[in-house]
Structure formats: structure tokens, C-alpha cells
A and B are shown apart, each in its own frame.
Chain A
Amino acid sequence: MSTMDPRTTVINERLKRINRIIAVSSGKGGVGKSLVATTLALELAQRGCKVGLFDLDFTSPSTHLIMGVKDAQPKEDKGIVPPVVKGLAYMSLIQFSGDHAAPLRGTDISNALIELLAVTQWGELDFLVLDMPPGISDAVLDLVRLVKRIEFLIVTTPSRLAFETVKKQVRLLQELKVPIIGVVENMKMNRAKNIEQETEKLGVKFLAGIPYDLKVEEAIGDVAKLGDTAIAQRVRKVAANNIAQ
């Protein structure tokens, strides 16, 4: 028998009382994944659902900044129990690494991800929203491998540079037979329909176009203001029509 890593065996046990696990992902960085993931979690909670938010962008975590999280430490109780932040069960590597930069390589990212999945006690949740790092990274492949029942919500911008990477990601997920809830097109500057049409050609649902909104920057760190942005307004509809139903 070769030496083996026991952690992967308990992951689905830890997640079994979570109804749906949604990874917010994109082929590119800077397209609005973290904002969409955070507002999606907050909007689902607003609807009365029990929601968790897990920041998996270990090298550039942002959800704590978006929500203005000051100090929220997990508790230790037969595992790690996430603190409640703005009504969400919340986990981020920030809770362990603080303000220090954590230069993690691919294997370190996989290890940290597996560790947190194996020891976090989420309890009962209607939704767990995952804020993903950009690209078809180790984190995406590990999650697809380890978390049965994972679904993807994909974010693009109107730019061809973003959409081409999204296309690759969609094809990969389709090959892996992972469900895709749909694509949102963020930071729209006009009413062009090309991304919507191209998305549908891939056999994937186009969920919403989100306009570029100058109010977003000002709303960072303030959950109430975030609720008034174009992102929250569109994501609210997606939550109602395509996710919570």
C-alpha cells in the first residue's frame, strides 16, 4: 500500500448537508467574479436562504474587501466552523494569512483547498457560493474532481479576450459533464447582443447583461450600497429566476 492522503475521503461528507454548490468562475481575471459571487450570496440570503460564501481565490482574495469584513475568526469545534458575516457563513484564507501575501504554487493551492474542504463544518446550507480564481486552474480541476454536485456560473465581459477564454472553459466543463447554470456578461457599455448569441451557440443559457456602473467602486466595502448597484439588481433577478426558483 502506498502512503495516502486521507483528507479527500471526507470532503463529500462535509458538504452533504449543502443543497447546491455554485462556483462563480471565468477564464479571465478582473471580469467581476468576486463581485458577482458576493452579490449572489447576499441576494440569496436576502431571499431567506441559508448561504455560505467561500473565497477560493487564495492568492488574491477580494470578497472580504467587497463586504467590508473587519474581523471574523472561525471557531474550532470538531473542525473549523465559519463565522457569520453579513448573514453568510464565510470562509477566506484571509482569516489565516491576514494581510500577509501568501505566495502559493499550484500544489500549495490544491493542498490548502483540500485541507479547508476536509475540515470546514458548513452545516446545513441551501447554497454554498464559491468565488473562484481566474482560469482553468488547479482549483477548478480539483473542485470538479472532489466535489460531486458542483455547478458553474460563468462570468465574461463583452471583450473577445474574455469571451474566448470563457468558451474554452465552457467546453472543458461540458467534456467533464459539469452542469453550467449559465453565463453573465458583466461591464456592458452598450446593448450589443453578440455575446448573448455566442453563448447560446455553445448550448449554454445567457443569464444577464450587467452594465458598467460607476457606483460600484464607491460601494466596495459597504453591503447596503452594493445592493443598489447594477450588479446587485441584475444578480437579484438571476437569483430569483434561474437559481432559487
Chain B
Amino acid sequence: MHEWALAEAVITAAQQIAEKEKLREIREVDIKIGELQQVERDIFRFALSQLKPASFKNAKFRISTAKTTLKCRVCEHIWLFSKSKLDEDTAEAIHFVPEVAHAYIKCPKCGSPDFEISEGRGVWLENIKGVR
């Protein structure tokens, strides 16, 4: 599952930050997942629990979902991404590489494929708390 690769990235990044901030033990990790990428939370959470190193033993992973906002560059219309309008293959392609949304999604107002993914694209780390 490709969620594992993303979870590994999150753990590696969190470790790097912990090192930089000289945290001995990590207590909280806040992760945001944009709706566009449709990451399977259960798999992602399981992967995190399997991949975490010793210093993350007591870490609480808080995973929240962020809505995906798209903004048309032609008419400036702003709308929310919704998976329900996509067929399975398209949804899967966007799951792998969110940017291919540009090949399938058009502005609902003017039909342009030239839009911006303003918010809620992929997976990102919001915050880390720990003790020195």
C-alpha cells in the first residue's frame, strides 16, 4: 500500500525535527491529510504504528482531514473537491499523484482545467511535541 510510503516520510521528517529540537521523547504528532489524496486513514495509522522508532513509543498521532479547495485561474471561482463525482480509476490516479487532478477535473463554472490546488493537497506535518 502506498500509504506506507507516506507514513515513512512522515516518521522520517518527524525524527529530523525531533533531532533538530533535541527532543528525547515525542509525545504528540499532528498530521493533516488533504481530502484530494484520499489517504486511507486506517492503513496510514497502522503504518505509522509499525514504522515508529523507540523515541515515538508513547507518541499520540493526531490525524485530521483538511478539505481541498480548488481555485480557477481563469474565472477565479473557488470550489471544494469532492470524490463522489470521480470514477474509481480517476480517484486512484489522483490518490497516487494529486496533480493529475488537472487531467480530470474542470472548473464547474467555466470548464477550465487551469486551476490551483489552494489547500488540502497531500499529507503534511502540523506540529510535534515532546520532552528534551
Contact = CB atoms under 8 A, between A and B. Distances in A.
Interface of A: 1, 3-7, 9-10, 13-14, 58, 74, 76-80, 93, 96-98, 100-105, 108-109, 111-112, 115-116, 118-119, 121
Interface in B53-109: 93, 96-100, 102-104
Nearest to B93: A96
Which size class do B's interface residues fall under? Answer: 35 or more
Nearest to A109: B99
A13 B12 contact: yes
A4 B1 contact: no
B51 to A, nearest CB: 10
Interface of B: 1-2, 4-6, 8-10, 12-14, 16-17, 21, 32, 93, 96-100, 102-104, 113-114, 116-117, 121-128
Contacts of A111: 98-99, 121-122
Contacts of A112: 97-100
Given A1-B17, A13-B12, A104 B2 contact: no
Contact of B103 (A7, A97, A119): A97
Nearest to B15: A9
Contacts of A3: 32, 124-126
A6 B13 contact: yes
Contacts of A109: 99
A183 B124 CA distance: 40
